Chains A and B, each alone.
Chain A
Amino acid sequence: MTTWLALLVAPALVLAVQTANYAMVHLACERHLQWPLAASSLFGVLFSAAVAWLAWRRWRALVPPDADDPARRARAAMLACAAAWVGALSLLIQLMMWFPQWLLSPCL
């Protein structure tokens, strides 16, 4: 489960937060409310960080084996490794999409 959260849910959440924030820019300008944008970005950052860490722990627990090791263990380790890095990349992108909110007004 931790593998799939980082491999599939974390990048999907990046897209969801991006779309939600994009849709909320209009409202943020109209109502002078920036916190919904910040809240969704913060949620995205925390979630990505958490699942990336969980996937990392799972990968380390499986100790990366060779592809010739018993199939199920090797498969789980490989996917956990990929998931940890996808989760980390998701975290990075969430952060990068948050930065402009600190600098740009939604009404520009």
Chain B
Amino acid sequence: MAHYAQLSRPEDAQATPHLFDGPDNADARAALERTWRDPPGLIGVLSAINHKTIARRFIVTTFAFFVAGGLLALAMRTQLARPDNRLVSADFYDRLFTVHGSTMMFLFAVPVMQAVAGYLIPLMVGARSVAFPRMNAYAYWMFLFGGLTLYGAFAFGAGPSSGWFSYVPLAGPDYALGKTSDIWAQMITFTELSALLEAIVLITTILKMRAPGMSLNRLPLFAWATLVTQFMVLFAMPAIMFASTALILDRLVGTQFFNPSLGGDVLLWQHLFWFFGHPEVYLIFIPALGFLSAIIPTFSRRSIFGYPAMVLALVATAFLAFGLWVHHMFATSVPALGKSFFTVASVMIAIPSGIQIFCWIATLATGKLNLKTPLLFVLAFFVILVAGGLTGVMLGSASLDLQLHDTYFVVAHLHYVLLGGAVFPLFGAFYYWFPKMTGRLFDETLGRWQFWLFFVGFNVTFFPMHLLGLEGMPRRMWTYPAGMGWSGMNLLATIGAWTIGVSVLLFIVNVWRSWRRGAPSTPDPWGGGTLEWSTGAPPPAHNFDVLPIVRGRDPLWETHDTDARIDCVSGLAADAREVLLTTALDARPDLRMLFPSPSIWPFIAALATTLLFIGSIYTPTAVVWGSVPVAIATVAWFWPRRDDHATALSLELPPWDARALEGGEVRKTSPTRATIDVRALPTFGFGARSPMWWATFGLMLIEGTVFAIAIAAYFYLRSVNATWPPNAPPPDLRWGTLNTAVLLASLGPNELARRAAHRGDRAGSRVWFAVCLAFAVVFLVVRGLEFSTLNVSWYANAYGSIVWMLLGLHTTHLVTDTVDTAVLAVLLFTGPFEGRRFVDTSENAVYWYFVVLSWLPIYAVVYLAPRLQT
């Protein structure tokens, strides 16, 4: 009991009586609204963390970038409307298509899907928030600042001009002068960091915050699509982050990753870029499939046909998407047999796509159609995506691809796939969920006009491009001479592009008018079956007055006798941001956890990170001095406040009581409804029970992928060089071996710290963490000495570059984890403390394992592999 007195101070707990939620409790409803609302005023705007607020900003920002990218496209189409046109210069045209492509891919298509998911997922799965709401806000600010960086540079004449894929050597130091490519590369860092954080937020929300009863077989298909997509983000994005970092290092500090004269290779860029770039198409496409699977059942008035087939198709598509990247490189020197593997995968991915299309058609064919605007966009999707998919199968053939490579046929194909596969469903989704988000109905007539203008404009723009490509018109050309036979179709495409522009303008007018003066909507205007339709329109700050219990795939279409069945949860604090966590597979009530309150620190941390990123475009020293404000801001962000601490203590159960009650559900019956009372659930748990564990797991997947890609790049460079290592022996084996011994020795105290945390032993935990920290400091000192005597230079050749990259990457991780461990140790010694801190301690120990174990393959590659080869 000594621990209990020390840890949770029961006298504090008794001093703060709480109001708990439950059915028909008006006081609790008002308290929930106050608790979950964002604070007022300018500081409140910057501190907001409510998922709906952040998602609305995200959606509006991505849509603004969509409009900006669209205006650039209009400028390009106007330039190409007639031959020998001089509306814009050749150089400016290069910038137009580069910023257009970069905007649409990095600032619109991927983030808008995450933004919509950030709004809908908690509502769909029956949660009051997303997981890690402050990180969600930070991700938004990073995205905004990244986009503004690109457009700021473009406005001041420093926009990139090497294409959205920034191929080297065109984007390298010899051809892209000034800071244009650096700005592009750093925009990638901003947006990919944001996307990775959002992925962790969404994965944890879906796996840990579903309403009780929503087992994986009852998960809405949009949530399945989001889950699958976010796992793809974790594996795809590290490749482009690694590539853009290598590019910026080549340009800023003279590494030689892509310089063939010093052992580098330009195809390395293409491999890295397309290992991200092709899955990116599916990052855009798969959420759109989720929209369809939400819209079609509602407007067919029946459940989706073939739910398991839809799930298997989503999973199979996600995996296969990573097996197609080389089909973007069929025009390079890849061996024919190698190409054939990717041709197969490119063709076979049509199978899971086809399965989904047949399931949707079966749903539509056996339902009673309600032909409203959202369904019109869905039906258009079928026509356009099938056309785009067929040209995709054509381009999957290496021989045909060689003929059509870099022609307008490819431009037509990619727009049929991306606009047809993503933007049409996205417009459908906007119309579908608009009444839920705003509480207003949109104007159906304007909606239909917009649809038809968009559909006709789209086909008039992009269908002629197939023919232009077959006639040999290359893409990215600034102008063309008269007499090529291309003029008529180019003019037609330009007319189509302006029609699309009018359509998008009409959409903006419709949204504006409907938001201001539209007819009020009921909570469920379409008769939808998923949980978001069960709450208000717009939803209250806390989403649900009481969390629902789920008993089927379409909870609102289930008929049940409310007197006989438990239909909601009760017992969560209404005056504190307490949420219910459930088990990952079966969604059984597991924990009730206190979420953080609004804070301005995510905004300040994003500003500090922006300073670091933009500074490092100009000087490598910014990585050092720029890290200081980032570290200060993030430590301040995570440092517990005394009032939060008091609230947490008052809601916490002592650890041993919590363990005794694991999985326990106390049922009670109120006068009108039966509920599951979750007051007795523990407030924290270790391992997969904790959201922190899932975040750490996601982080390890990301970093593991980064390390795997770096090691793959090492072997790739080795395979293209006749001698390896060139001109110098590998790094001294003694330093690497000494550091390996130090890291392995640190595993002992690390494990002891973890075990101490699990048994609630604060003193033991902090002591062993301090010992672990000492090992980390020793490692860093040894590493510093090694760097000062390293016999390979990052600028001498590609071997030196990749060795420094591998060692530098690992050192960066170790520095970060050392700072993290130090802060945690200080908190354990002095700072405000509650039981949840043990979870942080445990997860930090798990991450330490990862940092140590990820060193071993790097050690083998850098120190052992060259010697074994000798």
Contact = CB atoms under 8 A, between A and B. Distances in A.
B335 interface: yes
Interface in B547-574: 551-553
Contacts of B352: 89
B290 to A, nearest CB: 16
Interface string A64-101: 00011001101101110111011001001100110011
Interface string A12-43: 10110010011101100100000000000000
Contacts of A21: 338, 341
Contact of A22 (B312, B338, B553, B585): B338
A100 B552 contact: no
A7 B552 CA distance: 23
Contact of A18 (B307, B312, B323, B585): B323
Contact of B345 (A23, A83, A93): A93
Nearest to A85: B312
A11 B320 contact: yes
A102 B337 CA distance: 10
B323 to A, nearest CB: 5
Interface stretch (B124-132, B215-223, B372-380): B215-223
B337 A97 contact: no
A76 B551 CA distance: 16
B275 to A, nearest CB: 10
A27 B216 CA distance: 44
A108 B337 contact: yes
Contacts of A74: 215, 217
A19 B320 CA distance: 12
Contacts of A7: 315
Interface in B342-369: 342, 344-345, 348, 351-352
A15 B712 CA distance: 15
Given A68-B551, A75-B215, A100 B312 contact: no
Interface residues of B, number: 37
Interface in B246-298: none
B319 interface: yes
A22 B216 contact: no
A100 B340 contact: yes
Given A11-B316, A78-B307, A97-B345, A71 B213 contact: yes
Contacts of B680: none
A11 B338 CA distance: 19
Contact of A14 (B312, B323, B335, B552): B323
Contact of B552 (A29, A67, A92, A101): A67
A93 B349 CA distance: 9
A97 B585 CA distance: 34
Contacts of B311: 78, 82
A93 B337 contact: no
Given A11-B316, A11-B320, A85-B309, A25 B215 contact: no
A72 B588 CA distance: 10
B345 A18 contact: yes
B408 interface: no
A85 B312 CA distance: 7
Nearest to B554: A67
Q: Is the interface of B mostly helix, strand, loop or mixed?
A: helix
B719 interface: yes
B326 interface: yes
Contacts of B345: 18, 93, 97
Nearest to A17: B341
Given A78-B308, A105-B337, A96 B322 contact: no
Nearest to B336: A108
B471 interface: no
Contacts of A18: 323, 341-342, 345
Contacts of B312: 81-83, 85-86, 89
Interface string B304-336: 000111011001100110110010000000011
B586 interface: yes
B215 A107 contact: no
B216 A12 contact: no
A86 B311 CA distance: 10
A27 B509 CA distance: 61
Given A71-B215, A72-B215, A72-B586, A104 B337 contact: yes
B332 to A, nearest CB: 13
User: Interface centre among A29, A85, A105, by most B CB within 10 Å?
Assistant: A85
Contact of B553 (A67, A101, A105): A67
A75 B224 CA distance: 14
A21 B216 CA distance: 35
A25 B553 contact: no
A108 to B, nearest CB: 4
B223 to A, nearest CB: 14
A97 B344 contact: yes
A23 B341 CA distance: 11
A100 B344 contact: yes
A25 B216 contact: no
Contacts of A96: 344, 348
B551 to A, nearest CB: 6
Nearest to A84: B312
Contacts of A14: 319-320, 323
Interface in B10-45: none
Given A11-B320, A14-B319, A93 B338 contact: no
A101 B217 contact: no
Given A26-B719, A82-B311, A85-B312, A106 B335 contact: yes
Contacts of A67: 217-218, 307, 552-553
B474 to A, nearest CB: 27
Contacts of A92: 348, 351
A93 B337 CA distance: 15
A44 B779 CA distance: 41
Interface string B709-732: 000000100010000000000000
Nearest to B349: A93
Contacts of A104: 336-337, 340
Nearest to A37: B337
A105 B337 CA distance: 7
A25 B335 contact: yes
Given A22-B341, A101-B337, A93 B320 contact: yes
A108 B340 CA distance: 11
A78 B335 contact: no
A79 B311 CA distance: 9
Contacts of A71: 213, 215, 217-218, 586-587
A96 B216 CA distance: 32
A75 B311 CA distance: 12
A23 to B, nearest CB: 8
A108 B335 contact: yes
B340 A15 contact: no
B136 to A, nearest CB: 27
Contacts of A77: 217
Given A22-B326, A107-B335, A75 B217 contact: yes
A83 B316 CA distance: 10
B340 A82 contact: no
Given A22-B341, A89-B351, A93-B348, A75 B585 contact: yes
Interface of B: 213, 215-218, 307-309, 311-312, 315-316, 319-320, 322-323, 326, 335-338, 340-342, 344-345, 348, 351-352, 551-553, 585-587, 715, 719
29 contacts: A11-B316, A11-B320, A12-B319, A15-B322, A18-B342, A21-B341, A23-B715, A23-B719, A26-B335, A26-B719, A67-B218, A67-B307, A71-B213, A71-B587, A72-B585, A74-B217, A78-B216, A79-B216, A82-B308, A82-B309, A85-B308, A85-B309, A85-B312, A86-B316, A93-B348, A100-B337, A100-B344, A101-B337, A108-B337
Given A7-B315, A15-B322, A22-B341, 14 more contacts: A8-B315, A11-B315, A12-B319, A15-B319, A25-B338, A71-B587, A75-B585, A78-B308, A78-B311, A85-B312, A89-B312, A100-B340, A104-B336, A105-B337
List 10 tightest A-B contacts by C-beta distance, closest first: A11-B319, A78-B217, A100-B340, A82-B312, A75-B215, A108-B336, A71-B215, A75-B217, A104-B337, A96-B344
